[in-house]
Structure 1
Amino acid sequence: MLNWKQDARLLSSILMVFTLVMSIPTAIAWSSREHDAFRGFLWAMFTALVLAALLYHISLSASSRKLGTRDGYILVTTTWLLVTAIGAIPLRASGAFPTYTAAYFEIMSGFSTTGASVIPVHDAIPSSIHFWRSATNWLGGMGIIVLFVALVPVMGSGGAKLVGAEFVGPTKDKLTPKIRNTALSLWLIYVGLSVLQAILLLAGGIPLYDAATITFSTMSAAGFSPYAGGVSFFSSRYVLVIVIIFMFLSGVNFALFFKALMGQGKLAIRDKELRTYGIITLVVATAGGISLAFSGMYDIGESFFQSLFQTVSFISTTGFVTADYQTWPAFNQMLLFILIFIGGCAGSAAGGIKVMRIMTMARLAKVHMRQRLHPNGVFPVHVGTKILSPEVTRGVSAYFGIYFTTALAGILVISLTGVDFETAVSSVLTCLSNVGIGFGQVGPKGSFAMFPPWAHWVFSFLILAGRLEFFTVFTVFTRDFWKR
């Protein structure tokens, strides 16, 4: 049974933290004399505070009963919907976005680290709004709820229920005995890597504002940029190399960074998923570079660099671009299309199906074939040295089923907008995998602006479902969830 009043109290606290975070772009709007954006941020903060006060009033007689699994699902889903609704207010109030629907889609894309955009002209957007877009990337990269649990004490095992509902994955690493310490450790690592990237960008002559926005979108594996050309706007090979390195790191399981800091570097390097992630990146980048070199589009060095950048951008689901890859050979485009499905490692900021799930399904297929040859044999499913429990393998199989079922349904619905087949398929898959860029009209030179408003709501739902890896969102809509 849901503990509604306790849920209301936690949601009130989350909104208070969210209000504090929003004060930063509010200050930027004030200092930049962007009056419409400033008023928009004030309205958003006022709305959050009023809702927080109402929810706290409702929760005054809340029981001390611990949060259950259902509370975690409903609270995480509601939080993401609510902070997106409030976070979209400044975008619409500033006049930068024509409708609230477009603003909602943009912020949902930001918090989910998808990076898909409806902005037709970047120059017309106030600097504070661009900063807020990039900041939502960074906040969503490690998770809104994970940040809340790291900052605010949550009763009993409630923190674990909340983190488990948001930080979904095929396997979970418990870094410390207390979930709050785990959440804090993950965020400190995330902040540390972000600071390091920002310092390296500043060392390359990049202004502080640009270094911050690039870092926000890189470490979160998101891809928003204040400029139409993205990171290629700076025309700096140094900047692109730094971005490649940190895009790749954003797709690595953050638990491995923790292990490395704890003196277990060799154990982290031997991680089977990390090695597979690196091998896939290297093989695809090399194959793509060879193909580009033979096509004659670039010289050999540029061919491999462009292939490496786009490979890392796609597999980490960051979505930065440095070239119009839709003019590349079909072989290169197919390689990038496959990466939309794979994504980064479990426990990373990246989206996609995740390398661990791909490895698990491959292992399951191998075990099934051996089982058919030896019906009485017992063959455990293991990835590297880790034997996976039946619960994990069932969860992985269910994930694949729900991913492709949702994708097919989404493609069918979006096809009603009248877009071509390539755009319909690519737009849905890039939203589900939180990549942000795709093919057709949502390629490197396109955006989601040409879709009708109702389609933006569909995409927003697909983005949220993909970010929370389906089960948290879809479970709320089942009959069993609401049974007493």
Structure 2
Amino acid sequence: MSSSVRTVLFVLGILVASLSAAKLIPAFMDLNAGATESAAAFFWSAGFGVFFGLAVALAVRPDDRNLTTRSAFLVTAGSWVVMAFFAALPLRFGGHELGWTDSMFEVISGLTTTGATVVSGLDGRPPGFLMWRAILQWIGGIGIIVTAMAIWPLLGVGGMQLFKLESSDNSSEKVLPRAAEIAAAVSLIYLSLTAACAMAYGVTGMGAFDAIAHAMTTVATAGFSTRDASMGAFTEGGSDYVAMVFMLLASLPFVAYLMLVRGHPSAFWRDPQVRGFFTVIAAAIAAMSAFVIAADLYAPGAGIRTAAFNTISVITGTGYATADFGIWGAPATAGFFVLMFAGGCAGSTTCSVKIFRYQIALLAMRQHIVSLAHPRAITPLRYGGRPVSPELVYSVLGFLFAFIAVFTVSAAVLAAIGLDTTTALSGAASTLANVGPGLGEIIGPAGTYQPLPDAAKWVMSANMLIGRLEVLTVLILFTPRFWQS
């Protein structure tokens, strides 16, 4: 067995053991609440996962922990799939009336911070079950930040090399040490934001359990709630205002938080993607607010509040809802469908296409138009004061093409399975963009994905993984050349 394969298995083993150890938290919560069947499933699956993960890690422990480019791709894609299986065990065998398809769908939605759910009756579910869903999203959030900051820039995935840290090595051989260093730095910021969010929720009147669970899923821009009414169950105390603030904070690049800690407070506003993100947010809120007020759906104050919350939730891919915006009419439905493809900043917990890729694509288009009008003009492409190479532009355009292709194919497959047009299109979009709720009566903000056929759920589960892993990270595994020495 080669050193790189041993390293891949070692990392996967450690991740499985760590994830399984986290099951002890919901296990004791359910035991205390008298949900013995659920608690037992958490306990035995925790023991099994810890034993299996450590056994694999110890059996293949490599002499060095370097990764080739190929093995880095395998670790990135494989970790989400393997952890999803072990995370699903307590849902499948804990007396929650979830089959394998629904259990896997729910945990994949959690780990990818999508927020699409097949579970109803949340208000009566055991606390450990609800907390496990929040923990999965919280783990997925910090995992994607570290991956986006430490691994994808070195692998050149979808233009992420633009955000390569100055101290990063150009070789993927140092991926693991670099990832560990970044994880340690980011974890403190991530924990601080989560704690601040939980305390703010507590001030608005949320109980301790709800505040902690929602803080974890808010900072992860993930969207699982402890109530069927989602954040709509807590608007009376103003919790939706807290959610809006922290959804926006979690959508900003975490490298800028690191720079802020190091004494560079202007790092945020100097970043063109941050400026672009807030421009999109402001324009979308203004347009959606104007529509709901003009359509006489809400009074002005309530209209701005409701439109702002749900717009921010969709753009950031969080997936909370305070209203069933699927019944606001065709213009609102079309608007939210488009907003699913926005996303936040690179290096944040958000999902979808992300703002910087649109900015790069627009710069490239402008450069091309100028070159057509003035063939001899030299128009260097710069982004945030940094030169943009043709390779980076190709990487961004390649991502956009792949994203659109996966969306088109998955929507067509869902329609062929038997879903109506609205459900097929919005289901493909919301799962690939990791937004959560779709549009229409079935998977809209007031519904769940439970009524869908199992085949559709597996297609959407694949979409969630592909979208969360920046599309190309998964698609490259299906190319013959990737597996050639």
Q: Describe the shift of the 1:324–1:418 C-alpha distance in structure 2 as closer, same or farther (beyond 3 A).
A: same
Partner of residue 401, structure 1: 401
CA distance in 1, matches of 2:84, 2:164: 28
**SS in structure 2 at match of 1:3:** helix
* Maintained 8 Å contact 1:255/1:347: yes
The letter of the residue matching 2:47 is F
CA distance in 1, matches of 2:232, 2:365: 42
**SS in structure 1 at match of 2:336:** helix
Q: Percent of counterpart pairs with the same letter?
A: 27
Superposition deviation, residue 455 in structure 1: 1.9
The letter of the residue matching 2:239 is V
Residue 484 of structure 2 corresponds to residue 483 of structure 1? yes
* Maintained 8 Å contact 2:285/2:308: yes
Superposition deviation, residue 173 in structure 1: 4.4
Residue 14 of structure 2 corresponds to residue 13 of structure 1? yes
Unaligned ranges ≥5, structure 2: 169-176
Tell me the alpha carbon deviations over residues 296-334 of structure 1, each in whole angstroms, 9 at most, x when there is no partner.
111111111111111111111101111111221433332
Q: Describe the shift of the 1:168–1:190 C-alpha distance in structure 2 as closer, same or farther (beyond 3 A).
A: farther
C-alpha RMSD of matched pairs (Å)? 2.3
Q: Describe the shift of the 1:277–1:386 C-alpha distance in structure 2 as closer, same or farther (beyond 3 A).
A: same
CA distance in 1, matches of 2:358, 2:322: 28
Q: Describe the shift of the 1:436–1:169 C-alpha distance in structure 2 as closer, same or farther (beyond 3 A).
A: farther
* Maintained 8 Å contact 2:231/2:322: yes
Partner of residue 89, structure 1: 89
Partner of residue 454, structure 1: 455
Partner of residue 208, structure 1: 208
The letter of the residue matching 2:340 is I
Partner of residue 188, structure 1: 188
The letter of the residue matching 1:115 is G
The letter of the residue matching 1:396 is V
Residue 39 of structure 2 corresponds to residue 48 of structure 1? no
* Maintained 8 Å contact 2:25/2:128: no
CA distance in 1, matches of 2:296, 2:16: 54
The letter of the residue matching 1:55 is V
Partner of residue 339, structure 1: 339
Moved more, 249-258 or 261-270: 261-270
Tell me the alpha carbon deviations over residues 161-203 of structure 1, each in whole angstroms, 9 at most, x when there is no partner.
5885799763324276672332222221111111111111122
* Maintained 8 Å contact 2:91/2:98: no
CA distance in 2, matches of 1:448, 1:192: 33
CA distance in 1, matches of 2:482, 2:239: 48
Matches within 5 A, 1:269-348: 269-348=269-348
Superposition deviation, residue 407 in structure 1: 0.7
Partner of residue 474, structure 2: 473
Superposition deviation, residue 465 in structure 1: 0.6
Matches within 5 A, 1:33-432: 33-56=34-57, 58-60=59-61, 62-64=62-64, 66-143=66-143, 146=146, 160-161=150-151, 170=160, 171-174=162-165, 179=178, 180-432=180-432
Q: Describe the shift of the 1:162–1:439 C-alpha distance in structure 2 as closer, same or farther (beyond 3 A).
A: closer
CA distance in 2, matches of 1:97, 1:252: 38
**SS in structure 2 at match of 1:143:** helix
Partner of residue 174, structure 2: none
Tell me the alpha carbon deviations over residues 123-153 of structure 1, each in whole angstroms, 9 at most, x when there is no partner.
4532111110011111101217949x9xxxx
Relative to the length of structure 1, the TM-score reads 0.92
Moved more, 90-99 or 318-327: 90-99
Superposition deviation, residue 481 in structure 1: 1.4
Tell me the alpha carbon deviations over residues 23-73 of structure 1, each in whole angstroms, 9 at most, x when there is no partner.
21122122222111112112321331332244235415x453721111111
CA distance in 2, matches of 1:406, 1:450: 23
**SS in structure 2 at match of 1:442:** coil
The letter of the residue matching 2:416 is L
Moved more, 413-422 or 159-168: 159-168
**SS in structure 2 at match of 1:116:** coil
Q: Describe the shift of the 1:99–1:167 C-alpha distance in structure 2 as closer, same or farther (beyond 3 A).
A: farther
Relative to the length of structure 2, the TM-score reads 0.92
Regions of 4+ moved over 4 Å = 159-169, 175-178
* Maintained 8 Å contact 1:131/1:213: yes
CA distance in 1, matches of 2:153, 2:100: 30
Name the count of aligned residue pairs: 473
* Maintained 8 Å contact 1:145/1:163: no
The letter of the residue matching 2:23 is M
